[in-house]
Homo-oligomer: A and B are copies of this chain.
Amino acid sequence: MNKSEQLSDQHAGRSPHENVVKAESDGINLRTIAKTVGVHVSTVSRVLRAGPESAQSETAVRVLEVADRLGYRPNRVAAGLRTSSTQSIGVVSPRLHDVMVSILCHSIEATSRYSGYQMLLSTPPDDMGEQFRSVEFLLSHRVDGLILTSLHRDESVFVDRLRELPIPVLAANRHQGDLLPSVICDDREGGRLATEYLINLGHTRIGIIAGSRHASTGFDRLLGYRDALNAAGIEIDEALITHTDFEAEGGVIGAHSLLSLAQPPTAIFAVNDMAAIGVLGAAQQRGLRVPDELSVIGYNDIPVVAHLPIPLTTVHSPLSQMGEHAVIHLLKAIRGERPISEVLPVSLVVRASTAPPK
């Protein structure tokens, strides 16, 4: 598809002479080719842009051949200035160190690259002010569209500003009601699934570590938790609901706080896997055997949890699919289509960290 990509093989078995050519290749542009072939720049531009398959004329073939030989690499910066399309998308994604986030970004990048787009990634601190600075930064690089993976709830000021931008903006992972088109996983249903499973095992006192208050993911999973308890006719004890961050440390702290209650829970639902790992650690510290004395359930199904000494029961979020779909939707919006939202289905993965209460 892209000229320069196809050319890359050319250099594999090159002769000393071609080496010299290559050394000069920094400055190979349309004009160089035009001069070499003896045609006008615009002709070269047209031929190269049409691609090898549609090389009808004699000149076209010569142009392609010379471009190949000189190792021409199109200058997307110049093209971008002219067409005001840089073939790049900006991604604002705090907390890249979180596996869940890095898997998402991995997928976003792979899908973009496959579509001929370059990802410009910014991973600022997780507050909307910093995120908006990243947006401004990416905008100055004239990205064609934006994906934000870490929106905050109730920050309509920033969302309003995002909506005013001259390029399509898409939310992934976390959403903002209907204010921005989004591709997310069905967090509410996932929270319900996890809680319902624990209830079916016989648990009635179920603690939840609900993550950061500003994340729609944790918020929606908590809604699902309430849904399941309500459906089962179990009264909700607000003391069993605790908020922390999404790190293992938060899981440790949250678990200790829950397990120190007068009537401690027999099961804990952590709304992300890292926190669940922290819960496992806290249980160990308190001499509680998992799952016999405490059931633990996580969320997201990051790869490591299947390989823990006690493999974790968790809710599987299709993270790669979420990234892929986010890019697909964004590219459609860039091409002028009306952006649409999507909610991806999740599923429960039962492993060894859950059992009936004793």
A121-B122 in contact given A8-B136, A77-B141 (Cβ < 8 Å): no
Chain B hits for A278, CB < 8 A: 307
Chain B CB within 8 A of A284 CB:
yes
Output the nearest chain B residue to A78 by Cβ-Cβ distance.
Answer: B81
Q: In the complex, are the beta carbons of B102 and A118 less than 8 A apart?
A: no
Chain B hits for A12, CB < 8 A: 157
Q: In the complex, are the beta carbons of B119 and A22 less than 8 A apart?
A: no
Chain B hits for A103, CB < 8 A: 96-97
Cβ < 8 Å to B, chain A residues 301-315: 303-304, 306-311
Chain B hits for A303, CB < 8 A: 97, 247-248
Query: Which single member of B96, B124, B308 contacts A105 (CB below 8 Å)?
Result: B96
Chain B hits for A277, CB < 8 A: 304, 307-308
Chain B hits for A274, CB < 8 A: 304
Q: In the complex, are the beta carbons of B308 and A281 less than 8 A apart?
A: yes
Cβ < 8 Å to B, chain A residues 50-101: 73-78, 80-81, 86, 88, 96-99, 101
- Stretch with Cβ within 8 A of B (4 or more), from A106-114, A183-191, A204-212, A256-264: A106-114
Output the nearest chain B residue to A249 by Cβ-Cβ distance.
Answer: B307
Q: In the complex, are the beta carbons of B123 and A137 less than 8 A apart?
A: no
Q: How far, in Å, is A144 (CB) from chain B's closest CB?
A: 11
Chain B hits for A121, CB < 8 A: 105, 109, 119-121
Q: In the complex, are the beta carbons of A248 and B304 less than 8 A apart?
A: yes
Chain B CB within 8 A of A237 CB:
no
Chain B CB within 8 A of A17 CB:
no
**What is the CA–CA distance of A303 and B88 in the complex, to the nearest angstrom?**
32
Chain B hits for A5, CB < 8 A: 133, 136-137
Query: Which single member of B8, B106, B137, B311 contacts A133 (CB below 8 Å)?
Result: B8
Q: What does the 1/0 interface line of A129-158 toward B look like (CB < 8 Å)?
A: 000111011111110000000000000010
Chain B hits for A140, CB < 8 A: 2, 4, 73-76
Q: How far, in Å, is A138 (CB) from chain B's closest CB?
A: 7
**What is the CA–CA distance of A113 and B124 in the complex, to the nearest angstrom?**
9
Chain B CB within 8 A of A49 CB:
no
Q: How far, in Å, is A278 (CB) from chain B's closest CB?
A: 5
Chain B hits for A138, CB < 8 A: 118
**What is the CA–CA distance of A23 and B160 in the complex, to the nearest angstrom?**
12
Q: What does the 1/0 interface line of A151-195 toward B look like (CB < 8 Å)?
A: 000000100010010100000000000000000000000000000
Chain B CB within 8 A of A26 CB:
yes
Residue with the highest number of chain B CB atoms closer than 10 Å, among A86, A124, A139 = A139
**What is the CA–CA distance of A277 and B106 in the complex, to the nearest angstrom?**
22
Q: In the complex, are the beta carbons of B109 and A122 less than 8 A apart?
A: yes
Cβ < 8 Å to B, chain A residues 251-290: 251-252, 274, 277-278, 280-281, 283-284
Q: Which A residues lie at the B interface, using CB under 8 A? A: 2, 4-5, 7-8, 11-12, 19, 22-23, 25-26, 73-78, 80-81, 86, 88, 96-99, 101-103, 105-106, 109-110, 113, 118-124, 132-134, 136-142, 157, 161, 164, 166, 247-249, 251-252, 274, 277-278, 280-281, 283-284, 303-304, 306-311
Q: Can you spell out 26 A-B residue pairs with CB atoms less than 8 angstroms apart?
A: A2-B137, A2-B140, A5-B136, A19-B164, A22-B164, A23-B164, A73-B140, A77-B77, A77-B80, A81-B81, A96-B102, A96-B106, A99-B99, A101-B102, A109-B121, A113-B134, A118-B120, A247-B303, A248-B304, A248-B307, A251-B307, A280-B308, A281-B307, A281-B309, A304-B304, A309-B309
